[in-house]
Amino acid sequence: MDVMIIILYGLGALFISAALLPLIIKRIFNEGSVASLCFGGAAVLCGFLLGFVGKSNVLYGAALTLTVLLGLCFFAGLVLSAMMLFTALKKPSAETGQGNVFVLILGCRLYGNTPTRALKGRVDRGLKILSSDDNIIAVVSGGQGSDEQMSEALAMKQYLMKKGKLAESRIITEDRSTSTAENLRFSLPLIKEYCNEKGLSAGKIIIVSDGFHLFRTKLLAKEQGIENAEYGAAFTPSVDFPVQWVREILAILDLFLRKFSASGDNI
């Protein structure tokens, strides 16, 4: 039991720190922060009750039950994390084959008109693929948020042209999307339109985003009929990485629940 209490305190401190450090250092607080605080606080509470409440007390039984639930949640998170890592670590091939390769770079937040480190990381990862062959076409996807001075797509386009010296003719811009699903939904017609104009066969799509984001992106892509896409992972070290990871796990669970609910409605 002492080992379990130590583990609970350790997990609690880890998750609470993961939530508070981004808030203190970068003023970042999101769904992942809330989940981390709740999990960490519950773990500390369970450790305290198991250590200081007698076994005959009803609170002791409640703490054991909550500990089991926390263990199940933690195990589910590990399983999803393994799936996310597997998708992120699989490297894409930029061979063109019989059609063009399109590198679809998914947008994320700007600070006014300045790309965040995460966005730069995504574009840099895309550039690495684009530089391997002049026939590869970039697709930048991302709309304009209320606190952004330009669309994420335009910021990425400018970055590609300035840093990567990429010709404007090699860049397709999608600047309406506000979510990952819309990134895919709005970009596909532009790729098809480009292929029709150039007389090209629709080739391979390589989707680039943060590594933790790619597994959910893959699920959403399959929903929209994109079965043969490959994925390029960007890894941007940051103090908020743990809460972004937790937030992504919550988003994946939400996606699974919505799929399950939809399938139930069709029965």
In this structure, the answer to whether residues 106 and 226 fall within a common structural domain is yes
Domain CATH for 215 = 3.40.50.620
In this structure, the answer to whether residues 26 and 108 fall within a common structural domain is no
In this structure, the answer to whether residues 111 and 149 fall within a common structural domain is yes
Q: Which residues contact 252 (CB under 8 A, 6 or more apart)?
A: 80, 84, 215, 216, 219
Q: Kindly report, residue by residue over 103-127, the tens digit of the pLDDT.
A: 999 999 898 888 899 999 999 999 9
In this structure, the answer to whether residues 71 and 112 fall within a common structural domain is no
pLDDT at 14: 97
Residue 208: domain span: 101-236
Q: Kindly report, residue by residue over 54-68, the tens digit of the pLDDT.
A: 888 899 999 999 999
In this structure, the answer to whether residues 109 and 230 fall within a common structural domain is yes
pTM to 2 decimals? 0.90
pLDDT at 267: 52
Average pLDDT (192-213) is: 89
In this structure, the answer to whether residues 213 and 116 fall within a common structural domain is yes
Higher-confidence residue: 17 or 93? 17
Q: Kindly report, residue by residue over 148-182, the tens digit of the pLDDT.
A: 899 999 999 999 999 989 999 999 999 999 999 99
Is residue 57 in some structural domain?
A: yes
Judging by beta carbons within 10 Å of its beta carbon (0-12, 13-18, 19+), is residue 156 exposed, middle or buried? buried
pLDDT at 201: 73
Cβ-contact 5, 51 below 8 angstroms: yes
Is residue 185 in some structural domain?
A: yes
Average pLDDT (237-254) is: 95
Average pLDDT (233-261) is: 92
**260 falls in which pLDDT band (50, 70, 90)?**
confident
- Residue identified by tokens 């990425």 is 156
In this structure, the answer to whether residues 60 and 124 fall within a common structural domain is no
Is residue 44 in some structural domain?
A: yes
In this structure, the answer to whether residues 119 and 192 fall within a common structural domain is yes
Is residue 132 in some structural domain?
A: yes
pLDDT at 91: 87
Is residue 142 in some structural domain?
A: yes
Based on the structure, what is the number of domains in the chain?
A: 2
